[in-house]
Structure 1
Amino acid sequence: MSAFVDALRSAALGDAGMTTGEPRQAVRTGWGEIHQRALGGAAVLAARGLRKGQAVAILAGTPAEVAPAAQSVWLAGGSVTMLHQPTARTKLEHYAAETMRTLTVIDAHLVIVGEPFTELGGLLAGTGIGVVTVAELTAGDPAAAPTVDVTNADPALLQLTSGSTASPKAVRITHGNLWANIEAMCATARLRAEDDVMVSWLPLFHDMGMVGFLTLPMCRGIELVTVTPQDFLGRPLLWPELISKYRGTVTAAPNFAYALTARVLARPTTGAQGSPEPSAASVGRQDRPGEAEGAPPGLDLSSLRFALNGAEPIDVGAVRGFLAAGARFGLSSTAVVCAYGMAEATLGVSFHPWGTPLKVDTVDADALENHRRATPADPEGAGTRSFPVLGPPLPGIEAVAFDEDGVPLGNREVGVLHLRGESITELYLTVDGPRPTRGPGGWLDTGDLGYLVDGEVVVCGRVKDVIIMGGRNIYPTDIERVAEGVDGVRAGNAVAVRWLENGRRESFAVAVESREAADPVAVERISAGVRSAVTAAIGARPALVAVLPVGTLPKTPSGKLQRSAASALLV
């Protein structure tokens, strides 16, 4: 039997559960009740012809519906794929075509739809793929649940990877992969059902949300408080408020969320009338709805011990800013855990040891860019680059950097990071059929440039994104962080891409978003500021700087900026 499915059943016997509905109406549902709903749902799925190993896609907006629906699929022996959700700007005809491509890639047998997407079930009419609503699952009889002999080799998740929805790709995660990674993450983070409360707003179509902050607490019997990404983005203060209210101990988010929340926490505390006094630093800095609001009196972040930062490049400045802003609310100086992960590893690859201070590796820029060596340098000196150290690989995972010839590299030698171990998956599902994720020796090529320092992982950037100028390897994240610091540039909305200057010599271009993009004078000021700041910090001048309106830069469904697609905007 699957150890993962056994764990779901065991967790249902405990007292823990999940709280949903914040900030409107909080509803707490025990994992035992969710399991009963899932048993009934499994009976419905079996009656609809679902068999062991078949794929089921889920399109639902709330964790309260996703949790029992996903568990229903697992109890019936199927695999789960969380579909990307349409937004208010999505053209339904395009979404329908993209969704059909995804369903074809995973060979879906059924699609489960929940609110607010039930009407989209009609888009699948005539496709041969069945549609089941969450309401229909809920009406199922738990006593009629099937008994399915699921093994560790059977698929549990077909996780869609970030990238073009026109060419979808899913990672096939088995029950064995999933359980190995959950066990490794729990051991490293020292997660304990009797002590921890997990708080999340992460999207469930992303692996960090689905695996780390729904599947893990549901099968380990850990208390969970979860809201939607829209709730957080509409009012960023909700995240720290939920941590304070429920005494949250564990949370996670991509880097941009820590930078955004740091700005919110740094604002003056809201007074008795509910409106903070504006400060000079806050004027003109509101990038998102709700960001101008100050933190409420009594906000207490002292319970938070493990705040994982991952899923996108980590900015040391953003981490330090979050810790500094949270300090007056009791946030521990060791709370942030910088991490490395990817869907091909199920989720987690390495965690910085929790309870220890942020660890930063400052290296000589010339040695890094020209000789692919991370030579330690004075943090206060010029000509340096700084990276967060992401901790040793999780138990059961090996990490090695290889050079271009496939030769393993030594300490502080920069190459392409490769992984292997129990939680490393074996197959991609693509439009051209299945293909292996692993190469010779069972190693997974991550596509990330990085190095190991005394056994701990450091990531420099994506191989495909590195800009080569005069033999130098320039990392776009370095350029982007400088550009984001220019007045008028939206935080988290700067992209650096390769660019052929005059059609011959390789250079780079920078595209940034600004709320002032319609003002020619402001555009000239921002362009000059970006060009000057980047040239001074990087030692190379951008061939082109483009200032674009808000919402222009292309992003993946999980919110990551797409550099390759962004370059097309600059032609």
Structure 2
Amino acid sequence: MSRFMDTLIASARHDVGARARGLTTGEPHEPRRRTWSEVHEQARCIAGALRRQEGTPAVGSGDAVAVLAADPGSIAPAVQAVWLSGGSVTMLHQPTQRTDLTHWARDTLRTLRMIGARLVLLGPPFDGLADVLDEHGIEYRNLSELADSVAVLEAPVETAETDTALLQLTSGSVAEPKAVRITHGNLDSNARAMVERAGLDAEHDVVVSWLPLFHDMGMVGCLAVPMFLGMEAVKVTPADFLERSMLWPELISRYGGTVTAAPNFAYAIVGRRMARADDGAFDLSTLRFALNGAEPIDPAAVRTFVDAGARFGLSPGSMVCAFGMAESTLAVSFPPPGRGVEVDTVDPDELERRRRAEPIGQEPTGQESDGARSFALLGSALPGLEVEVVDDSGRRLGRREVGRLRIRGAAVTPGYLTVDGPLSARDEQGWLETGDEGYLVDEQVVICGRRKDVIIMGGRNVYPVDIERTACEVEGVRAGNAAAVRLDAGSRRERFAVVVESRLAGDEEAEQALGKRVASRVFEVIGLRPSTVVVLRPGTLPKTPSGKLRRAATAELITTG
């Protein structure tokens, strides 16, 4: 049996009695708590049914099983059941109210063929999609029916460290799917490294999360790790958060949450709203580890959250800025808790022209001045992982030299599944190219931006995130909803456009005025003028299922639309 499964099963069997830890779901309307032992027993029932399917082949060792559900209370035992059966789990991208179900079914069928899925486990709130699956001949089982099974799996199927545990669909177009293959060994290594670096304690820690379980930070960090460790967890859905974002600090207050995680935009939103909340509305004094990852970290947004939370007992040292990716199972680096946000402020000319991150000092507030660039320090590589920076020839670069980031270690995936077949992820020495540009400072990782998105103009290498943050400072632009995209990439006339969302969209005069303000502000701070500023209605910017900007799709949208 793999080490990961051995530990998970041992944690479930240990969680009995009055002090047993468990999983709470259903907040805020119908909270329900089950101990990890109870989750495990339900998983054994589901696994028993999966191993004895009627009318379809039984799930066995090495089989890929897809899950389409949003309710964490249904997903937790289902995922564990697949692992107990010897299979791997793929969380499918979920349709929204605006999704064309015909297109979704076509793309989903392509994904299922790519991973060789035997079955889809269907649960709330997607039970109504059974007819769509039937129409396309996709085998499925309803999770509510499986949970009532009387067939209990007596013993788990043996799993090796090299067996696949997760097939994590990558961000991007669902029409061109790609899945990261995470083995049991990968999962075990990264889980143990995160537990060590974060100092997670099953006896005392409580994780509170709303992150989607089809994303690696939600699935691995906020479900698999608590399940593995036997740690108390409170889990709601992204829809709950989007409906009422202040539910997040409310749940931390109610359950004494000590650990949480979210992308940068969520901290920015909640920080602004907490600043307007009444005294005593929340108690964040228990929170000791608030991980910020999954998208570029804006020090100013982080500061908004930390400053607003101070009134409710939040320790400034609780914020932890991280670097992670599905290819490393989840986490690559983050600092130990308690240090808070550390910012590196560098000379923009040295960064853009000489590819060096020369420090220029910073104001006590950490605010940028005179066009300086500030980046969050993301800690050193977790145990079992290495990070290095190289140039385009593969030569290892020194301290503060900007280049290509690559990673190596036990948590790094061996490869991908694609529609054209398996694809190796690592070179002969085991290194995986992350696709990011960055540098190292005293072994701490700094991310400047994605290599494919860098805008090259007049000998300068400009990172879109700097332009986007500047655009979002302009009144009328929706916070966190601006994209800077390359035009005529690779040509001598390379240009860039700025695309923003605004409620002013549709009013031609207001759009023009906003575009002028954005262009002026970008020129003032960055020293380059966009060739055009496009104003879109809210919710129009192309994003991945996990909410990241799709800059290539944005460029295509404005050049073809």
- Bucket of the pairwise TM-score, normalised by the shorter protein: over 0.9
CA distance in 1, matches of 2:552, 2:231: 40
Q: In the TM superposition, what is the alpha-carbon distance from 1:121 to its structure 2 partner?
A: 2.7
CA distance in 2, matches of 1:547, 1:163: 23
CA distance in 2, matches of 1:125, 1:104: 16
Out of 346, 366, 374, the residue aligned to residue 363 of structure 1 is 346
Q: In the TM superposition, what is the alpha-carbon distance from 1:117 to its structure 2 partner?
A: 1.0
Look up the SS of the partner of 2:103 in the other structure.
helix
Q: Is the 8 A contact 1:42 1:146 kept in 2?
A: no
Q: In the TM superposition, what is the alpha-carbon distance from 1:128 to its structure 2 partner?
A: 5.7
Q: In the TM superposition, what is the alpha-carbon distance from 1:168 to its structure 2 partner?
A: 0.3
Out of 342, 347, 350, the residue aligned to residue 330 of structure 2 is 347
- Aligned residue for 1:277? none
Out of 12, 17, 22, the residue aligned to residue 17 of structure 1 is 22
Provide the alpha-carbon RMSD of the alignment: 1.4
CA, structure 1 residues 2+268, in 2 after alignment: closer, same or farther (shift >3 Å)?
Answer: closer
CA distance in 2, matches of 1:26, 1:391: 36
| CA deviation string 1:217-254 (max 9, x = no partner) | 01110000110001111111100000011010000000
| CA deviation string 1:384-435 (max 9, x = no partner) | 2110000000000000011000011111111110000000011100011000
How does 1:289-368 map onto structure 2 within 5 Å? 297-368=280-351
- Aligned residue for 2:175? 166
CA distance in 2, matches of 1:475, 1:375: 16
TM-score (norm 2): 0.95
Q: Is the 8 A contact 2:46 2:152 kept in 1?
A: no
Q: In the TM superposition, what is the alpha-carbon distance from 1:105 to its structure 2 partner?
A: 1.0
Q: Is the 8 A contact 1:43 1:146 kept in 2?
A: no
- Aligned residue for 1:138? 147
How does 1:439-478 map onto structure 2 within 5 Å? 439-478=427-466
Letter of the 1:59 counterpart: L
Does 1:384 find its partner at 2:393?
A: no
Letter of the 2:345 counterpart: T
How does 1:479-518 map onto structure 2 within 5 Å? 479-500=467-488, 505-518=493-506
CA distance in 2, matches of 1:306, 1:355: 8
- Aligned residue for 1:45? 50
CA, structure 1 residues 333+36, in 2 after alignment: closer, same or farther (shift >3 Å)?
Answer: same
- Aligned residue for 1:427? 415
TM-score (norm 1): 0.93
Q: Is the 8 A contact 1:468 1:506 kept in 2?
A: yes
| CA deviation string 1:329-372 (max 9, x = no partner) | 11101111000000000000001221013110111111111111
Larger mean CA deviation between 522-531 and 392-401 belongs to: 522-531
Does 1:69 find its partner at 2:78?
A: yes
| Corresponding pairs, count | 544
CA distance in 2, matches of 1:121, 1:426: 34
CA distance in 1, matches of 2:540, 2:138: 35
Q: In the TM superposition, what is the alpha-carbon distance from 1:491 to its structure 2 partner?
A: 0.6
Q: In the TM superposition, what is the alpha-carbon distance from 1:129 to its structure 2 partner?
A: 4.4
- Structure 2 gap segments, 5+ residues each: 364-368
Moved over 6 A (4+): none
> In percent, how many aligned pairs have the same letter?
58
Q: In the TM superposition, what is the alpha-carbon distance from 1:504 to its structure 2 partner?
A: 5.8
CA distance in 2, matches of 1:376, 1:486: 27
CA distance in 2, matches of 1:344, 1:227: 25
CA distance in 2, matches of 1:202, 1:566: 25
Letter of the 2:328 counterpart: A
CA distance in 2, matches of 1:191, 1:232: 25
CA distance in 1, matches of 2:35, 2:361: 52
| CA deviation string 1:83-142 (max 9, x = no partner) | 111100011101101101110111101110001112323333375642111022212235
How does 1:51-450 map onto structure 2 within 5 Å? 51-125=60-134, 129-141=138-150, 143-269=152-278, 297-380=280-363, 382-450=370-438
Q: In the TM superposition, what is the alpha-carbon distance from 1:143 to its structure 2 partner?
A: 3.6
CA distance in 2, matches of 1:158, 1:565: 24
CA distance in 2, matches of 1:50, 1:106: 14
CA distance in 1, matches of 2:275, 2:291: 20
Look up the SS of the partner of 2:269 in the other structure.
helix
